[in-house]
Amino acid sequence: MSAEASPDLFELAWRGGATEARLHRRRPGIDELPWGSIDLAAYDAAYLLEARRVWSHGVFTEYASAAAFSALTTAMMECGAPVDLVAASGDIVVDELFHVELSSRLVMELGGAIPIAFDLANIAPAPSAARPLLRAAEIALVTSCVGESLSVPAIARSRMLAREPLARGVLDRLLVDEGPHARLGFWFLGWASARLSDAERAALATMALDAIEVYAPLWQAPCDACPAPTAIAGTDAIGKADMRDAVIHLIARPLARFGIELDGLRLAGLVA
């Protein structure tokens, strides 16, 4: 990716040297992946273009996740959350930045990224006037309890379908990390829920449904490129069913245990 950041195009820079070495000491293994092993001539142009689109979008979502966990880390410090929990959130920021590196290198192997128009000034969760505890709960809910809980089944299905060893290696690495990313929000609610009011828990329930609705096209919309380029990237009908299942079993039911009860009718409509 480019070394120059432009205000309206999503581009990444890389410094190298001591900072790269530090990241790879903390997150080893990237050089052992089978870089250079994809025979691009084995795929037709449309298939490869779609794989580049999927992985380019993946780079962007990894970067946005890093920004969201960074905001969550700050919000948790502002409400006095347990120090080890805050440390886990800060560490997840580095996981996500490592995922950015993995996904970027993969998309470069495929021929480069597809341009994504986005102003990085808007990459973090929108500012909120909520008190710090509720602010942290909002970000934990949307980013971890909803977003990461949906990425686990999506990545798992992509991994199962992938045929390219490099794609499998990258997806394996993402999958190992995403489980704890999805649990962090519930760990936070385990500490915070008794400190939230009934009205705040009701507002969080609506926010969870709004967040699920944003993701719903992933399992509801007819796909633009069928079949997906699953040897390298992408999911299928089973992956979409797994995401619907995750909405109920990995999001709605665990949230209810913390007094965040999602409206049943609206929920049923979203997973229909």
Q: Are 205 and 263 in contact (CB under 8 A)?
A: yes
Four-point Cα dihedral 99, 102, 103, 108, nearest 10: 160
Taking contact as CB under 5 A, which single stretch among the options 71-79, 180-188, 199-207, 246-254 is the one that binds Fe ion? Answer: 180-188
CB of 58 to Fe ion, least distance (A): 9
List the x/- string, 56-95, binding to Fe ion by CB under 5 A.
------x--x------------------------------
Size of residue set near Fe ion by CB under 5 A: 7
Rule CB under 5 A: is residue 183 a binding residue for Fe ion? Answer: no
Q: Are 60 and 118 in contact (CB under 8 A)?
A: yes
Rule CB under 5 A: is residue 240 a binding residue for Fe ion? Answer: no
Taking contact as CB under 5 A, which single stretch among the options 23-31, 147-155, 160-168, 217-225 is the one that binds Fe ion? Answer: 147-155
Task: By CB under 5 A, name the one of 157, 181, 201, 240 that touches Fe ion.
Answer: 181
CB of 199 to Fe ion, least distance (A): 30
Rule CB under 5 A: is residue 99 a binding residue for Fe ion? Answer: yes
Rule CB under 5 A: is residue 173 a binding residue for Fe ion? Answer: no
Q: Torsions phi, psi of 244, nearest 5?
A: -60, -45
> Closer to Fe ion at the Cβ: 181 or 201?
181
Q: Torsions phi, psi of 117, nearest 5?
A: -80, 120
Site residues for Fe ion per CB under 5 A:
62, 65, 96, 99, 148, 178, 181
